[in-house]
Amino acid sequence: MDKGDSKSKLISTATRLFAERGLYGVSVRELAKAAGVSISMVSYYFGGKEGLYSSVLQEQFSSFSHIEEINRVETETLKKIESYIRWIIVRYRNNPYLLRFYTSELTNPTQFFSLIVQPAIGKVIQVLVQIIEEGISNNIFRKDLNPVDTVLAMAGMVNYYILSTLVTQELINHSPERDEVLIRHYMDIFTKGILR
C-alpha cells in the first residue's frame, strides 16, 4: 500500500459509514476493517474518531462555496435561481451522503457544527437572500416578499425533494433523467405559483 493511501481510504470509507449510521453508530474497529487498514491509523492520522468525522464534514461542506461562482457567472436573476436549483440537485446526485450530514448536523449538531456547517450553509443563504433582494429591486419580484422567507421556501422545495426519496419512491420517478423536467417544474411553481 502506498504512503498516505490509508488516510484517503479512511476518509472515503468513513464518509459512507458516518452517513449511514452517524458518528455514534460506527465504531473505529468497523471503520478500519472496512477501509482495510489498521485500527491505529485513525489515531495516527486524525487523532481519533471525532477528528476523522471532522475531516469528513469539512470535505462534505467544502462544495458549498460554489454558490458564489453561480452568483458571479449568471447575470439574470431568474437564471441565478435556476442555476441554484440545478446545482443542489446535481450536488446530491454526485454525493448521495451529503444530505445525511446536512440534516443530521441541523437537527443533532455536533461540536463541529458552528465551525464547519453553519458558515457553509450560512454563506449559501446569504447569497440567495441577496439574489432575491436584487430581484425585488429590479421589479422582477413582488415588493411584499420577505427575502429570507422566500429563500427558505425555494431551498426547502428542492432539498425536501431529495429528503423525501425514501417515502416517495413508489409515487414518483427519482432518476436523473427527470431532473430537467423537475427543475422546470419547480421554477414554475416558485415563480408563478400553482393557481390557474
Partner DNA sequence: GTCTATATTGCGATAGAC
Partner DNA sequence: GTCTATCGCAATATAGAC
Chain residues that interact with DNA, rule: CB under 7 A: 1-7, 26-30, 36-44, 47-50
Residue 59 vs 147, nearer CB to a copy of itself: 147
- Residue 177 binds which entry of DNA, a copy of itself, none, CB below 5-8 Å type-dependent: none
Give CA 38 to chain center in angstroms: 31
- Residue 186 binds which entry of DNA, a copy of itself, none, CB below 5-8 Å type-dependent: a copy of itself
Q: Is 62 in the site for a copy of itself (CB under 8 A)?
A: no
Residue 32 vs 127, nearer CB to DNA: 32
State the nearest-atom distance from the C-beta of 68 to a copy of itself, in Å: 17
- Residue 6 binds which entry of a copy of itself, DNA, none, CB below 5-8 Å type-dependent: DNA
Provide the grid cell at 123.
454563506
Long-range contacts of 82-91 (CB under 8 A, 24+ apart): 82/183, 82/187, 84/128, 84/131, 84/154, 85/154, 85/158, 85/183, 85/186, 85/187, 86/179, 86/183, 88/155, 88/158, 88/159, 88/162, 89/158, 89/161, 89/162, 89/179, 89/182, 89/183, 90/179, 91/63
| Euclidean distance between CA atoms 155 and 103, whole angstroms | 13
| Euclidean distance between CA atoms 109 and 105, whole angstroms | 4
Give the residue among 152, 162, 158 at the shortest CA–CA distance from 132: 152
CB 45 within 8 A of CB 10: yes
Residue 52 vs 135, nearer CB to a copy of itself: 135
Which residues within the stretch 106-145 sit at the binding site for a copy of itself (CB under 8 A)?
A: 106-109, 113, 117-118, 121-122, 125, 129, 132, 135, 139-143, 145
CB 158 within 8 A of CB 186: yes
Which residues within the stretch 73-112 sit at the binding site for a copy of itself (CB under 8 A)?
A: 99-100, 103-104, 106-109
Question: Contacting a copy of itself (CB under 8 A), which of 8, 38, 164, 180?
Answer: 164
Q: Is 153 in the site for a copy of itself (CB under 8 A)?
A: yes
Q: Is 194 in the site for a copy of itself (CB under 8 A)?
A: yes
Q: Is 172 in the site for a copy of itself (CB under 8 A)?
A: yes
